Amino acid sequence: MKKAEADDPKDSVARIAVIGCGWWSQGWHLPVLHNNPKSNLVAIVDSSPHPVSKLNPNLVSLPELAEKYHTNTFSSVQDLLQSEIGPTLDGVLIATPHATHYHVGEEFLEEIDRREKEQGGQSRPLHIMMEKPMTTDVKDAVNLFRLVHEKENREFTNRSGGSQFWLNHTANYREQTRLAREIIVSGRLGKIRHVTASFASPLKWIFNDPGNDGWNKPNGNMIGNGFAWGQSSHLLAFLFHILPNCDPKSVHCRMSLSKETGADIAHSATIECLDTTTITTTTSSETMELTEDNTVLINMSGTALLPGHQYTDPPIAKLLNIDVYGDDGSLHYSGNDLDPTSGHLEYRNVEGIVEILCDRFEFEAYDNDNYGPESIQSFVELCCSRSDGKELPAAGATVLDGLRSVQVIDAMYRSNAEKQVVPVVGITN
């Protein structure tokens, strides 16, 4: 039987739908939402009655999922929204193929508009969590940003009761990420000047396999596909979240491509960002020129060539190294992604004195037991928060983090193709 909602809205059970039930949803989202007593998985939507994935040949059909999770299934978002379940939804988790994210997100943003028009200031919030990357089309990312941004003074706010749009970059919801962002925003590092970041994954077997079209073959307006979209999107969303005043403007990138698939399996990029710290509300970062005093340089590299396999037993972990340098100090975070004891988050002041901010290294979250990663748990808490005055959990990855990540990745592929520095596509282009 489905879980019933509590009478007290402060302790209500969130009514959540999952859109897309492929490899990731069946392995992670559906079981953890089903396990969480604060979540009522009221619907699953997929256009295929029997999803397939080369990464998991044992995916089950929609009828089997309905029986397993005691829930309802639909073949389209509109069928869900027009059912009696649609108006009662508190949240949706969008896990469809990346190229479809914009259009699926747009359908739910229109549902929020419909609720607002019909119910006014008392409209029921509808929270959206979208899988990463936000889109694989930079124009779609810009349009999605605009749609969400337009609602900032209406529904999409940080006040209790307003709908919110989040992205499921699991690393961004860790305690270490919150601490890193706080220390940078507080100014303890002074003016940020330079960032270095590297990300290595044991996933060569995915990017060298011609059968993994979704990971390797460009779709729609994509110039290329591979490690940048599949993995560096995680790192970029983390960097732009802890560096909220870094607005990417230009990129120079070179890539190594797989002979089997043409996907990038390694890349190195220099990202030139505008420091927006001193920009006033009457000034647009889109019109400001980069100068020596307002530029932040990010050097980022990524590769799938780390030997091993992430899904063997025991699994081989991803390796990360992140350094942020300012005029008054630096921040350092590195480690083995499956071993919390392998690293820590540290701050060094201008004299070189080291302060350990957190003694554990925790980046991406892979937990598909119990209630899942912090990102999903926080989203469930958000969807339960329907009472005025209740403190909402913080968004670990916003639409702006998603936009900046897509802007940079799109520019990385264009730069490699053109063999020159290229500007990112801005929101006014």
Give the DSSP per-residue string, 140-197.
HHHHHHHHHHHTTTTTSSSSTT---EEE--GGGGSHHHHHHHHHHHTTTT-SEEEEEE
CATH 3.40.50.720 placement within the chain: 9-170+370-401
Predicted confidence at residue 122, as pLDDT, reads 82
What does each C-alpha distance from 177 to 285, 364, 374, 380 come to in angstroms? 25, 11, 12, 20
pLDDT at 126: 95
Domain boundaries for CATH 3.30.360.10 within the chain: 175-363
Partnered with residue 41 across adjacent β-strands are: 16
Question: 72-74 and 39-45: which strand pairing?
Answer: parallel
Question: What architecture is domain 9-170+370-401?
Answer: 3-Layer(aba) Sandwich (3.40)
Position of tokens 């739908």?
17
Q: What is the pLDDT of residue 153?
A: 52
Among candidates 172, 154, 171, which has minimal Cα distance to 163? 154
- Decide which of 3.30.360.10, 3.30.565.10, 3.40.50.720, 3.40.50.1010 is the CATH code for 175-363: 3.30.360.10
As given in the structure block, the two tokens for residue 235 are 């790192």
| Residue ranges for the chain with pLDDT beneath 50 | 1-10, 155-160, 388
Tell me, what's the pLDDT at 49? Answer: 85
* Type of residue at 147: L
What distance in Å separates the CA atoms of residue 235 and residue 226, rounded to the nearest whole number? 14
Q: Which of 214, 158, 111, 173 is nearest to 401 (CA)?
A: 173
Nearest to 220 by CA among 229, 211, 231, 233: 229
